């Protein structure tokens, strides 16, 4: 009846698009999250509501639904339980090792820098306020402080002198995920730009999407565009580094590999073993999009090629209030100029929460960006 049964651990907007891609291929989808009626649950066959950090609840859900593929879509997961489940024969995407390493910045950074020799910024891991202050003296100022476990830039800040490091540590701990009070203090890279290189590990080899540029605010993505401008030498360096780390992690699926571009250096920053938020632009910018690529790679289906459809951009639609009974206005106006709007149908708004995205083509990346930003600005939440 079904091609395969997949279980999503995390059911936000990225999980929603994965579920849609999987349903189009005839999969049975089980959506799991800590709250009910999450976006992916609305387009899935079944749902389970529990904390992904609750290993016993995670095991119970797996044993109940018996998925062919367990697909982590968020960072806050009991990765130890995923390792146990994989050892028992359950398939974790792309692998329990990849999830365990990449869910924590200390794991993936040490793996990339120490084991694989990728180009990274200088960094130190710290476990207390005093250690953070001491690390600043070693790394130098300004420096970036991030919790080792977080998402969407939460807990990230820049310390410009020793006096700001204590507050940066406090902010990192207050916004971390999980129960480990640990942060990374790293060199501030005066980069020219930053990109996401969506990298697909398939049974036929590694493939790359056209590079995606993006702008962040408070550590969270606000706009992204495709293709990002970069030299052939820089692109080759990024692709070689991305392939090296993806192949070392093992398994199949799409990885979001982030780089800082500084001069003629592509500097490895972070990696997510799943579709990336900046890759929302691929919903309009390329075929197959990142979510379709992820599902195809997981299921072992062919990917003949990845085709860019032209200069494209995305801009997020943010909430400005907290509400549980709300609607939207301005959607029709936003689409009049040819832009597309994707609303995530989250059941609750919070100030600054990502509620949707506007997508646009253009004669150039700059024109696409202007159209996407203008469209996003027209969509408002109303009570």
User: CA nearest 103: which of 137, 77, 139, 121?
Assistant: 77
**Is 48 part of the annotated catalytic residue set?**
no
What backbone phi and psi angles, to 5 degrees, belong to 242? Answer: -65, -45
**Is 277 part of the annotated catalytic residue set?**
yes
Catalytic residue among 270, 340, 348, 370: 270
**Is 270 part of the annotated catalytic residue set?**
yes
Residues near 117 by beta carbon (within 8 Å), at least 6 away in sequence: none
Catalytic residue among 164, 277, 290, 292: 277
Residue 124 CA to residue 108 CA, distance in Å, equals 13
Catalytic residue among 258, 272, 274, 314: 258
**Is 354 part of the annotated catalytic residue set?**
yes
User: CA nearest 231: which of 223, 239, 222?
Assistant: 239
What backbone phi and psi angles, to 5 degrees, belong to 366? Answer: -60, -40
Catalytic residue among 107, 354, 356, 362: 354
**Is 177 part of the annotated catalytic residue set?**
no
Do the Cβ atoms of 155 and 164 come closer than 8 Å?
A: no
**Is 88 part of the annotated catalytic residue set?**
no
Report CA-CA distances (Å) from 225 to 146, 165, 372.
25, 33, 10
| Secondary structure (H, E, C), 50-84 | CCCCCHHHHHHHHHHHCCCEEEECCCCCCHHHHHH
Active site residues: 151, 153, 258, 270, 277-278, 354
């Amino acid at each position: 009846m079904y091609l395969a049964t997949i279980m999503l651990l995390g059911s936000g907007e990225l999980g929603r698009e994965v579920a849609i891609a999987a349903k189009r291929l005839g999969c049975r989808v089980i959506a799991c999250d800590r709250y009910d009626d999450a976006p992916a649950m609305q387009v899935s066959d079944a749902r389970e509501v529990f904390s992904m950090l609750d290993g016993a609840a995670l095991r119970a859900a797996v044993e109940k639904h018996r998925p062919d593929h367990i697909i982590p879509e968020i960072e806050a997961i009991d990765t130890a339980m995923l390792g146990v489940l994989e050892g028992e024969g359950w398939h974790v995407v792309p692998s329990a090792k990849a999830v365990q390493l990449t869910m924590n910045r200390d794991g993936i950074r040490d793996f990339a820098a120490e084991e694989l020799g990728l180009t990274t910024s200088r960094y130190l891991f710290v476990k207390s306020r005093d250690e953070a202050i001491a690390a600043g003296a070693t790394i130098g100022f300004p420096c970036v402080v991030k919790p080792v476990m977080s998402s969407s830039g939460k807990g990230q800040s820049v310390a410009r002198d020793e006096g700001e490091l204590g507050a940066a540590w406090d902010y990192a701990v207050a916004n971390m995920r999980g129960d480990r009070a640990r942060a990374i203090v790293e060199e501030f890279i005066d980069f020219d730009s930053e990109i996401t290189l969506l990298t697909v590990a398939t049974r036929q080899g590694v493939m790359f999407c056209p590079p995606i540029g993006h702008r962040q605010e408070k550590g969270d993505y606000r706009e992204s565009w495709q293709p990002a401008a970069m030299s052939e030498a820089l692109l080759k360096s990024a692709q070689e580094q991305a392939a090296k780390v993806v192949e070392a992690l093992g398994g199949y699926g799409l990885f979001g590999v982030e780089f800082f571009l500084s001069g003629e250096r592509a500097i490895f920053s972070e990696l997510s073993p799943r579709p990336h938020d900046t890759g929302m632009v691929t919903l309009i910018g390329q075929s197959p999009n990142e979510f379709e690529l992820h599902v195809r790679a997981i299921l072992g289906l062919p990917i003949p090629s990845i085709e860019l459809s032209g200069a494209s951009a995305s801009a997020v639609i943010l909430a400005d209030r907290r509400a549980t009974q709300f609607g939207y206005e301005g959607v029709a106006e936003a689409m009049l100029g040819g832009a597309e709007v994707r609303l995530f149908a989250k059941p609750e708004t919070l100030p600054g929460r990502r509620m949707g995205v506007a997508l646009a083509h253009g004669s150039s990346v700059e024109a696409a960006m202007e159209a996407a930003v203008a469209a996003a600005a027209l969509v408002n939440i109303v009570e």
